[in-house]
Amino acid sequence: MPLTHEEKVGFVQDGLVIRRGFVPADLIARASSRVGRWFREDMAPSQIAAYTQRTFAPELSEHPDLLGLFSDSGARQLAADLLGDVQPVTTTQIQIRVPEDALPTAQPEKAMHVDGVACPHLDPDELRTFSLLVGVVLSDVSDPDGGALRYLPGGHLAMAEWFGSEWSLGITAQVPPRIATERGTPFLGAPGDVLLMHHLVPHSVRRNYTSTPRVMAYFRVSHPGHAHRRLEALRDPWLDYPPLAAVTATATTTR
């Protein structure tokens, strides 16, 4: 089912859309089985920091059972409803928040940030941005203390203003001070739920104080023109979203 007008309005205002129970159970089962097996048999505890920075189960990043969560579930069409057209998605980022008492040392937290800008493991002058983050829930995330993604509703607009007026390439701060101290809203859900979040929505991740791993599959989706206008897209939040032109125009005139 395509995104409704109300969902598009919500996306313009809050920077995200959540579809509950969207991904079919068989796709979730296949992906969860592969990630669960890797977690039990192949995960190296000494590499937790590296996994957290980039991806868990890197061997599965191009596996069809993981990519199918985006390409075979209808999530790609939802992304196209927002972007108009999308670049092919060829990798999956798997993020696991491991229970705190299951590790010899604490898993690193992630402060408020926007992906691909001033990343600690990148040169500050390098941008690895995209248009839209699509997340698929692979485990129960019902407890805010279970390592849930925390996002700032409406933060995409504040970030675009900051990128346009105060920020310049090479600055190492990922967000302005007023956003860095925000706790954010926890994204809670069940296996099969889908999050579509504007790239500019700042978000963070904290420790998992529950007894079960929190598992998410993420897909970085880009408009075909994004790579040629990364800086412009940081300052104009709707540059990559032509299907939302009428919605954003209405939102601007009704403020």
Return the number of other C-beta atoms located less than 10 Å from residue 66's C-beta: 24
Residue 217's domain spans which residues?
14-248
Q: For 168-213, list the strands marked E by DSSP.
A: 185-186, 194-198, 203-205
pTM of the model: 0.95
Give the model confidence (pLDDT) of 45-96 as tens digits: 999 999 999 999 999 999 999 999 999 999 999 999 999 999 999 999 999 9
In a domain, 8, yes or no: no
In a domain, 205, yes or no: yes
In a domain, 254, yes or no: no
What does the pLDDT read at residue 118? 74
In a domain, 6, yes or no: no
The rounded percent of the chain whose pLDDT value lies above 90 is 88
Yes or no: say if 155 and 115 are a contact pair by the CB < 8 Å rule.
Answer: no
In a domain, 137, yes or no: yes
152, amino acid identity:
L
Yes or no: say if 199 and 132 are a contact pair by the CB < 8 Å rule.
Answer: yes
What does the pLDDT read at residue 255? 47
- Total number of domains in the chain: 1
Yes or no: say if 94 and 66 are a contact pair by the CB < 8 Å rule.
Answer: yes
Place of tokens 């995209």: 130
In a domain, 9, yes or no: no
Q: Give the mean pLDDT of 235-241.
A: 97
Give the model confidence (pLDDT) of 5-17 as tens digits: 999 999 999 999 9
Q: Give the mean pLDDT of 25-41.
A: 98
In a domain, 4, yes or no: no
- CA atoms of 73 and 194, how far apart (whole Å): 10
Give 3-state DSSP helix, strand, coil % of the chain, rounded to 5: 35, 20, 45
Give the model confidence (pLDDT) of 147-165 as tens digits: 999 999 999 999 999 999 9
Yes or no: say if 89 and 76 are a contact pair by the CB < 8 Å rule.
Answer: yes
In a domain, 2, yes or no: no
Identify which of 165, 182, 133 has the alpha carbon closest to the alpha carbon of residue 234: 165
Give the model confidence (pLDDT) of 190-205 as tens digits: 999 999 999 999 999 9
Beta bridge partners of 146: 208
- CATH code of the domain in which 174 resides: 2.60.120.620
What does the pLDDT read at residue 124? 64
